[in-house]
Amino acid sequence: MNNPAPPRASRVPPAIPGAAGGRPCPGIPVVDGDVGGRQIAIAPGNRSWVSRRGADPVSPPTTALGHPGCGWQASLELGLGPWHGRTTLMHRRQRGPLAVQRPFYPEGEVCHLYLLHPPGGVVAGDGLAIKVHLEPGAKALVTTPGATKFYRSLGDQASQTSHLQLEDQAALEWLPQENIHFSGVNAALRTRVNLAGTSRFLGWECQCLGRPALGEAFDRGDLDCQFQLWREGQPLLLERLRITPQGRLGAAGLRGRPVTATLVATPAGQTELETAVALLGEGDQAGVTLLEHLLVVRYLGDSTEACRHLFTRLWRALRPPVLGLDPCPPRIWAT
């Protein structure tokens, strides 16, 4: 007998998302669909303009919809729960150009999700909000198909917030690819992870300043990055990195390095610490710290590729002891 179909994602009434400062943005698409639904709506207009010689995209004086200071306001809410032996996408609420592909199950019970931002970059005034909730016992891996680009701004701030909520016995892997911040950016990034007593988390975030592979330095701009990890209302890790061109040059800053990244895993102990240390080679610009039951790995270097290779090795080694799962890289990483 076939298993019954999983519950349909809850539906929400259409609404117009508000712009920064509470101003409405008429015309911004609202997608309200079931799991597996194919409703897509993209408002007309270009999101950025480029010089005839193909210069870097910059934020236009007004938004694509013609509302100064508005920008794309997009949000995505995902709810996942166990259903007949695997984790199912039970709820999805989507507004604006932020979406997920259909769930993938390359290892059976774990749900693999790919976050998509169709415009391909974040410009001044844009606001992206992501919420992920895992019910008790749910297991999910969330990643992105490519780097997220934050373009230089003419004044307005762009923002991206991620709120991850895990209930007891849930396990989440938060593995987005790097954020690339063009010189002249004005952006604020916020990530908050709330863990229940027995939930498990393994994740990373990577920031690339400028485009070092092309020789483009981060010589102006303002970037504010915050990461918070809580368990049962108690802080495990509270970090804030405020980056300006002047502040990243000294010993107390980033020593002029363009790539900084953090990997965290919990629960972890001495065994996981020794495993991580053993994987660091002489050329790896990284350090490992164990804060009670939280393992923290920090990278500060010159290459997003080197950082990605290191963190992927660590993820493969830490996944079995931290999450109880064998390594199973997302298919999108191989493309």
For the segment 186-209, what is each residue's pLDDT rounded down to a tens digit? 999 999 999 999 999 999 999 999
Please tell me whether residue 21 adopts helix, strand or coil conformation.
helix
Residue 5 has what pLDDT?
53
Residue 94 has what pLDDT?
95
**Please, what is the end-to-end C-alpha distance for the chain in angstroms?**
37
Residue 250 has what pLDDT?
64
What's the Cα-to-Cα distance from 281 to each of 86, 123, 268, 314, rounded to whole Å? Answer: 37, 37, 21, 12
Count of Cβ atoms closer than 10 Å to residue 276 Cβ: 24
Q: Would you list the DSSP string of 76-106?
A: EEEEEEEETTEEEEEEEEEESS-EE---B-T
Residue 84 has what pLDDT?
93
Residue 155 has what pLDDT?
83
Residue 36 has what pLDDT?
31
Residue 151 has what pLDDT?
94
CB 222 within 8 A of CB 248: no
Q: Which stretches of the chain drop beneath a pLDDT of 70?
A: 1-70, 245, 247-252
pLDDT tens across 56-82, in order? 443 333 333 334 446 789 999 999 999
Rounded to 5°, angle at Cα 164 from 206 and 18: 95
